[in-house]
């Protein structure tokens, strides 16, 4: 308190001057229109500047609440997007296989069902793909799965009402029958569980004039896959001197790391074929 009195005492004359100067300015502005207008403009400029700075500071401290409000609003809008709602795909595409005909010239028919991939693995030894289409939309075990471009993906091994699980070609138990496009020699396609960019085609006879880059297709012996679908290309040829067969390294045509949509292919005569083949042993016993 003492310091305040000492300050006033020391600067008393200057403080009296400031007070009197303020009174003079107030009288001048109050009774002179020119000075009043000028002072009013300066005052508004100063007030506007101070208000702007205050708003900036106040807005900074309100950012957290504003961000929360915007996040909630965005979330509400996102929940209204059509992409958040999914229904089972019930569409069907019919393809005619002109390569296989019976004695009445009727063409064998496959049913193709489009499906969306919702889960996929490529880094395990046994990889699976999950599709958003199940037995409620005509999916059954044993159906072939084909990527856009007619490259093979795998086989359906399990289904629920709205989903199905596919055993990928990148699975150690996947062994589809495949052939070389050039000379039709047939072998078994396998995966060793290591590199997703390398498959193995075994039991190709050494008499086959296979070359690097030759095309590999599904064979006519596959009861699951339609004949002639693209499998991949030969990337390496290995020959065992103790064997009469080549072991071919195949680069798959399907990009398994980027699969988004596929087709499920139903062989409408699959059940009939398996039923007939299953009766062979019984028929042999009857004959003997």
User: What are the pLDDT digits (tens) for 106-129?
Assistant: 555 678 889 999 999 999 999 999
Fold of 93-281: Thrombin, subunit H (2.40.10)
Q: Is 167 exposed, middle or buried (0-12, 13-18, 19+ CB in 10 A)?
A: buried
pLDDT of residue 83: 43
pLDDT band for 65, please (50, 70, 90 cuts). Answer: confident
Cα 131 from Cα 86, distance rounded (Å): 13
- 134-174 per-position pLDDT tens digit: 989 889 999 999 998 889 999 999 999 999 999 999 999 99
Q: Please tell me the predicted confidence (pLDDT) of residue 99.
A: 47
What distance in Å separates the CA atoms of residue 114 and residue 261, rounded to the nearest whole number?
7
pLDDT score of 240: 78
Mean pLDDT confidence for 263-275: 81
Averaging pLDDT over each range in 33-42, 83-92, 207-216, 274-283, which range is the top one?
Answer: 207-216
Handedness of CA 93, 91, 159, 271 (dihedral sign): negative
Beta bridge mates, 264: 113, 145
Question: What pLDDT, on a 0 to 100 scale, did the predictor assign at position 95?
Answer: 58
Nearest to 197 by CA among 144, 130, 257, 146: 257
Q: Which pair of structure tokens corresponds to residue 214?
A: 């030759």
Taking the C-alpha atoms of residue 80 and residue 82, their distance in angstroms, rounded to an integer, is 6
Tell me which range, 74-78, 133-137, 264-268, is most confidently predicted by mean pLDDT: 133-137
pLDDT at 62 over 80: no
Beta bridge pairs of residue 246: 204, 239
**Confidence (pLDDT) at 223:** 81
Q: What's the CA gap between 263 and 113, in Å, rounded?
A: 5
* 3-class state of residue 251 by DSSP: strand
How many angstroms separate the CA atoms of 75 and 79, rounded?
6
How would you label 22-58 residue by residue, b for 16+ Cβ within 10 Å and e otherwise? Answer: eeeeeeebeeeeeeeeebeeeeeeeeeeeeeeeeeee
Which pLDDT value is given to residue 110?
Answer: 76
**Tokens, residue 240:** 């065992």
Of 155, 163, 152, nearest to 231 (Cα)?
Answer: 152
Task: Say how far apart CA 23 and CA 11 lie, in whole Å.
Answer: 19
- Calpha distance 257→123 (Å, rounded): 10
d(CA 225, CA 169): 12
Residues of the chain with CATH 2.40.10.340: 93-281
Q: CA separation (Å) from 153 to 88, 195, 209?
A: 21, 16, 27
Is the full-model pTM beyond 0.85? no
Query: Looking at per-residue confidence, does 266 or 177 come out higher?
Result: 177
pLDDT in tens, 203-258: 999 888 899 999 999 998 888 898 899 999 999 998 878 888 989 999 999 999 99
Q: Of all helices (H) and strands (E), which one includes residue 278?
A: helix 270-278
């Amino acid at each position: 308190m003492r310091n305040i009195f000492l300050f006033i005492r020391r600067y008393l004359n200057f403080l009296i001057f400031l007070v009197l100067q303020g009174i003079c300015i107030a009288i001048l502005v109050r009774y002179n229109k020119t000075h009043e207008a000028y002072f009013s403009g300066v005052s508004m400029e100063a007030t506007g500047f101070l208000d702007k700075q205050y708003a900036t500071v106040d807005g900074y401290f309100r950012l957290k609440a504003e961000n929360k409000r915007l996040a909630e609003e965005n979330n509400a809008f996102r929940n209204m997007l059509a992409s958040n709602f999914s229904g089972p795909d019930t569409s069907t595409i019919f393809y005619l296989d002109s390569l296989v005909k019976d004695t009445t010239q009727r063409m064998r028919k496959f049913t193709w069902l489009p499906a969306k991939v919702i889960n996929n693995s490529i880094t395990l030894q046994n990889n699976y793909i999950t599709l958003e289409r199940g037995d409620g939309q005509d999916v059954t075990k044993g159906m072939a799965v084909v990527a856009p471009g007619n490259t093979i993906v795998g086989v359906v091994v399990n289904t629920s009402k709205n989903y199905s699980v596919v055993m990928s070609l990148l699975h150690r138990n996947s062994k589809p029958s495949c052939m070389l496009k050039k000379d039709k020699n047939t072998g078994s396609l396998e995966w060793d569980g290591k590199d997703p960019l390398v498959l193995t085609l075994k039991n190709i006879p050494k008499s086959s004039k296979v070359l690097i880059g030759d095309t590999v297709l599904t064979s006519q012996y596959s009861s699951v896959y339609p004949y002639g679908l693209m499998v991949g290309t030969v990337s390496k040829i290995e020959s065992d001197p103790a064997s009469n067969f080549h072991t071919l390294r195949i680069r798959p045509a399907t990009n398994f790391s980027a699969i988004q949509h596929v087709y499920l292919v139903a062989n409408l005569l699959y059940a009939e074929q398996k039923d007939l083949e299953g009766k062979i042993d019984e028929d042999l016993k009857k004959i003997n």
